[in-house]
Structure 1
Amino acid sequence: MSSFYSQLDDAVYASHPATAGPWSAEAQHAGPPSALLARAIERHEPREGMRLADFRADILGPIPVAPLEVSARTLRGGRSMELIEATASAGGRPVLAARGWRILRASADFPPLPADGAAAVAGSGPRRTALELPPASATLEGSLIPGAHEDGYLAAVEWRFTTGGPGSGGVAEVWGRQLIDLVEGEEPDAFQRALVLADSAGGVTFTLDPRRHRYINCDISVSLHRDPEGEWLRMSAESIASPGHGGLVRNVLADGRGEVGIGVQTMVAQEL
């Protein structure tokens, strides 16, 4: 298991067993295909000085472990911002649709916000304090989700928890890194690595019995104000469920230098 995908031609990718999610060996975890669409957005008519800053994917149905055809097009062009749409299809049926904003990279001398010493509103400002990776002894042993399919995505990512974990009540702080390439023979970039991990925010905060409760996401949204550095990414995630309404997972993403962005997932919450 060396990669999630292999590129077969300009538009088609073979999906390897490593893409399989926790619920079935036949259906993909949404992290790798989301990263694959981010890659397509980044490579579509690229321009110097632009960076992918915001990405949202809608999960249109189960994503089979099968060849995926990927397409991309520009929805809105511009000198300082561009909106790109990308779609993954299996057997002629769209299974994942994404939009991403590519924006002009800020100059190196642009003043940081909040300004040093300024108070963040409700603690919402980015923390720039250096963060320390937990030791190898903190690596998760056993299953992230009880009874899950273990030989796909869950075997392709390493997790080190600092707070919480499976069954801990819906809150967790965890470092993760993908262990294989996204596309065979390519080093994944920062946004791709972030998406491979960020779709697991609901999993690392998993606390419900899957035999009694359904709690799965229908989308994933990630916005990064800074490109993450290194192969490890920290997620500070919280699962929320409001009886009679629905669910949400919110996630603060960070690297060793501090916070880099946020992730959000809309969750379907049902009794089985």
Structure 2
Amino acid sequence: MSYFRRVSAHSYRATAHTGGAWNTAEQHIAPSFGLLAHAIETDRDTRGQGHLVIGRLGYDILGTVPVDVDVDIEVRVLRLGRTIELVEATLAHRGRAVVLARAWLMQAYDTAALRGSTLPPIPPPQQLADWDPSAVWPGGFIASAQVRRAEVEPGRAAYWVRTALPLLDCEPVSPLARAAGLLDIANGMTVRADPQAVAFPNLDLTAHFFAAPTGEWLGFDTAVSFGPAGIGLTHSIIHDQTGPIGAVSQALTVRPSAP
């Protein structure tokens, strides 16, 4: 069992475990984010640029895609360099672009002596209670996630997420690609409003990493904000069990249901 199975060099078949939360007949976009990160890293390594690490991943969601279909990924280098590269990847279904991803790749340097952050840590997963996100959301992807959460109030929570499912069947992926496949869960883990009454899907996701993720758990310190004109923001500081490692932001379109 996995989220995707490879069909060819650039094509993948989504499984039922990618089932979405807003519409179970459509894919939750989170696993596709991980798949795109894996494709970018694979292209990088194939080109002999394995000394570069991903510092930023930016995704724009251009449409929806059904579950249990094939998707294709094309990777392009927009800025080639020895120490800095900008790489773009497109995930498409039947020739229609669904997700556009851009990644900044940077030369790794030894800055261990300088490591530090003023971002506050969150409690480790063993100190938080199990929480079942399927009580709020349907879909195969949400059902595949294990969550431990401490909610302060609706729209504000600290939580840890992991999954027992591999991103790809019988194919290893990096810890960063695996983490990227979980990032988009953030918008649904501490809701400000009942999703039966208010729709608030995200249009994008931007992740910045100042350290590579390690371990099976990915932590989030999340705040959700709704503005007065139908625009919202889900912002999270992301953690592994060493502490904060980066940040994720998602732009929301907030749509109250008609009475």
Tell me the TM-score normalised to structure 2 length. Answer: 0.91
Unaligned runs of 5+ in 2: none
Contact 1:71 1:87 in 2 (8 A): yes
Percent identity over the alignment is 28
Per the alignment, residue 234 of structure 2 pairs with 249
Paired AA for residue 31 in structure 1: A
Q: What is the rounded CA distance, in whole Å, between the counterparts of 1:227 and 1:91 in structure 2?
A: 34
Question: 1:193 aligned to 2:184?
Answer: no
Distance in 2, Cα, partners of 1:104 & 1:126: 24
Cα offset, 1:216, TM superposition? 0.9
**Aligned with residue 76 of structure 1, among 75, 79, 95:** 79
Letter in 1 for 2:212: D
Supply the distance in 1 between the matched residues of 2:243 and 2:251 (Cα, whole angstroms): 25
Where does residue 28 of structure 1 map in the other structure? 27
1:119 alignment counterpart: none
The change in CA–CA distance for 1:64 and 1:142 in structure 2 (over 3 A counts) is: closer
Q: In the alignment, what sits opposite 2:109?
A: 106
**Counterpart selection for 1:159 from 125, 128, 147:** 147
Q: Where does residue 206 of structure 2 map in the other structure?
A: 221
1:259 maps to 244
d(CA) in 1 for partners of 2:214, 2:35: 19
The equivalent position to 1:88 in structure 2, one of 87, 91, 100, is 91
In structure 2, how many angstroms separate the alpha carbons of the residues matched to 1:105 and 1:223?
Answer: 15
Q: Count residues with an aligned counterpart.
A: 253
State the shift of 1:109 in Å.
Answer: 4.7
Tell me the equivalent position of 2:161. Answer: 176
Moved more, 169-178 or 184-193: 184-193
Separation in 1 of the partners of 2:66 and 2:7? 17
3-state DSSP class of the match of 1:87?
strand
SS at match of 1:181: coil
Find the counterpart in structure 1 of residue 52 from structure 2: 50
Match for 1:50: what amino acid?
L
Displaced runs of 4 or more, over 6 A: none
CA RMSD across the alignment:
1.9
The question of whether the paired residues in 2 share the 8 Å contact of 1:218 and 1:267 is answered with yes
Match of 1:117 in 2: none
- TM-score calculated relative to the size of structure 1: 0.87
* Counterpart residue type for residue 94 of structure 2: G
Structure 1 letter corresponding to 2:3:
F
Instruction: Tell me the distance in 2 between the aligned counterparts of 1:163 and 1:142.
Output: 12
Uncovered stretches (5+) of structure 1, i.e. residues with no partner: 115-124
State the match for 1:126 in structure 2.
119
> Deviations 1:163-198 (Å, cap 9, x if unpaired)?
34xxx4211110110220001113432222322222
Q: Distance in 2 between matches of 1:191 and 1:182?
A: 12
Letter in structure 1 aligned against 2:88: E
Per the alignment, residue 215 of structure 2 pairs with 230
